[in-house]
Amino acid sequence: MIRQSIARRYAKGLFAVGVKDGRYRDYLGQMDEILSVLKTAPKLDRALALPLLKMEQRQDVLADFTKALGLPSTLVALLRLLLEKNKMNYLPMIRDAYEEMANDREGLVKGVGYSAYPLSDDAKKRIEEALGEKLSKKVLLDMKEDRDLIGGIKVIIGGVRIDGTVKRQLEVLNESMMKE
């Protein structure tokens, strides 16, 4: 929880700069690129995240890394700060918090939907539109298959769970019968 709070503060600072210079979506894409490179180069990731090398050596590695990616000075400054504070491992959380802020600014919300069987693109689109009307936001769902469901759909958006599955309806029916 504390780690997420710290990551959110870094994301908020970067987001404020991104909104001011109009490049907040670009910064999100560049953070994705940074994380992708670090994921495919675990030695580089460890060199930056773990204090195994002296700070000067780590700063040199970071400088070469940011130069190779051609990152803007705003992101370079963030990465330098994370390096100096030994918080490079916060970058994925910062990226997630930043994406949430960017989506919120654009009236977009992401969620996860579960269904017993794969849904057609048309059905997914209708569900997103219906939820969008209820939430007054544009909804994007990542649909997943859950064979434990009998039928219906379950959606989780920003901590809110909407459960319209047959399994849940049977549970509610059972609970109401037990009360009688």
Domain shared by 152 and 170, yes or no: yes
Quote the number of domains for the chain: 2
- Taking only the tens place, the pLDDT of each residue in 133-164 is 988 899 999 999 988 888 888 999 977 888 88
What is the value of pTM for the model shown? 0.78
CATH number at 16 reads 1.10.520.20
- Tell me how far apart the terminal alpha carbons of the chain are, to the nearest angstrom: 42
- Average of per-residue pLDDT across 8-23: 95
Whether the predicted pLDDT of 8 surpasses 90: yes
Cβ neighbors of 156 (< 8 A, separation 6 or more) are 111, 112, 113, 162
Measure the CA–CA gap between 77 and 27, rounded to whole angstroms: 13
What confidence category does residue 170 fall into, taking pLDDT thresholds of 50, 70 and 90?
A: confident
The neighbouring-strand residues paired with 154 are 114, 163
Domain shared by 20 and 93, yes or no: yes
- pLDDT value at position 80? 96
Q: What mean pLDDT is reported for the chain?
A: 91
Measure the CA–CA gap between 39 and 46, rounded to whole angstroms: 10
Are 27 and 66 spatial neighbours (Cβ–Cβ below 8 Å)? no
- pLDDT value at position 108? 93
